[in-house]
């Protein structure tokens, strides 16, 4: 399929029995796959080459997959990260940590399901990643009425701007912000965020929502903007512009 051509995937997985069928599956979809068996070479590659998606094993011979995840995000990687985890017990740990992953799959998994998750992440991240790598920058969609919006969300290109500076959001962070922005000022429930941003395959922990909200707040703060994500205890979250009269 033409829209999926050219996507670049980095597979960080030491087990050939898992890596080789995955590489074949991705290549059949015309994705370009690079594979490394250890974490440090994976981090180095991400710093050298653009990737749209990283599929990351947790149990690696050199450093932990979680550490790989944390470090590539710190280095500014904004594409998707799909974590592969061997044991159920690892999942809670992953979800509880602010490592910047977008999705998780427990081994053993079906190739078809993994491919579906990878496709979904690629769709969500494709525009923001390709725009930074190459290609024309889209003309921002004009926002009527407000002169200089403190926050602007462009759903077509999946980019968000605070005071006209682009926010470096991951796919999930963008989805959460986009939902909150759609109903600005109103409460968006935790259930709705979980349903719409994480699909029914998600294994139910809402800790990941809090982690994502936390990162989103940090990025909004870092941008120097006035828009805030306000917690409505026991219900959900609301987007407010602190500069406006509430
Ligand atoms: Ca492993």
Cα 16 to middle of ligand 1, angstroms: 9
How many Å apart are CA 192 and CA 175, to the nearest integer? 12
pLDDT of residue 137: 45
Other Cβ atoms within 10 Å of 63 Cβ, number: 14
Question: Which residues lie closer than 8 Å to 107 by C-beta, 6 or more apart?
Answer: 18, 84, 85, 86
Question: How do the domains of the chain map onto residue ranges?
Answer: 8-135, 140-241
pLDDT of residue 72: 95
Q: Give the distance from CA 96 to its chain's centroid.
A: 16
pLDDT of residue 51: 95
Cα 106 to middle of ligand 1, angstroms: 12
Cα 14 to middle of ligand 1, angstroms: 5
Q: Does residue 162 sit in helix, strand or coil?
A: strand
Cα 110 to middle of ligand 1, angstroms: 17
Q: Which CATH number fits domain 140-241: 3.40.1360.10, 3.40.980.10, 1.10.10.10, 3.60.20.10?
A: 1.10.10.10
What is the end-to-end Cα distance of the chain in Å, rounded?
48
pLDDT of residue 98: 66
Q: Give the pLDDT means over successive 10-residue stretches in the chain (246 positions).
A: 69 95 93 96 95 94 92 91 76 64 82 89 66 43 49 86 86 90 84 78 66 89 86 86 58
**Topology classification of domain 8-135:** Rossmann fold (3.40.50)
Output helix, strand, coil percentages for the chain, rounded to the nearest 5.
40, 20, 40
pLDDT of residue 11: 98
pLDDT of residue 107: 81
How many Å apart are CA 140 and CA 156, to the nearest integer? 9
- Please answer whether residues 152 and 212 qualify as being in contact, where contact means their C-beta atoms are separated by less than 8 angstroms: no
Query: 228 pairs with which residues across the strands?
Result: 240
- Ion ligand 1: protein residues whose beta carbon lies under 5 Å: 14, 57, 59
């Amino acid at each position: 399929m033409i829209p999926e051509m050219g996507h670049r995937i980095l597979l960080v997985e030491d087990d050939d029995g898992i890596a080789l069928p995955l590489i074949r599956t991705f290549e059949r979809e015309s994705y370009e796959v690079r594979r490394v068996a250890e974490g440090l070479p994976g981090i180095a590659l991400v710093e050298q080459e653009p990737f749209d998606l990283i599929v990351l094993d947790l149990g690696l011979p050199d450093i932990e997959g979680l550490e790989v995840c944390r470090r590539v995000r710190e280095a500014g990687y904004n594409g998707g990260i799909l974590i592969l985890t061997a044991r159920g017990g690892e999942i809670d740990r992953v979800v509880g940590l602010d490592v910047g992953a977008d999705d998780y799959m427990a081994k053993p998994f079906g190739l078809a399901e993994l491919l579906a998750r990878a496709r979904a992440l690629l769709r969500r991240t494709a525009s923001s990643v390709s725009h930074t790598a190459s290609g024309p920058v889209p003309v921002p969609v004009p926002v009527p009425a407000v002169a200089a919006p403190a926050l602007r969300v462009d759903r077509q290109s999946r980019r968000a701007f605070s005071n006209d500076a682009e926010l470096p959001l991951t796919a999930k962070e963008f989805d959460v912000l986009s939902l909150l922005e759609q109903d600005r000022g109103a409460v968006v429930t935790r259930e709705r965020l979980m349903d719409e941003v994480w699909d029914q395959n998600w294994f139910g922990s809402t800790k990941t929502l809090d982690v994502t909200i936390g990162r989103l707040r940090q990025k909004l703060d870092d941008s120097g903007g006035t828009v805030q994500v306000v917690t409505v205890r026991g219900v959900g979250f609301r987007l407010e512009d602190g500069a406006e009269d509430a």
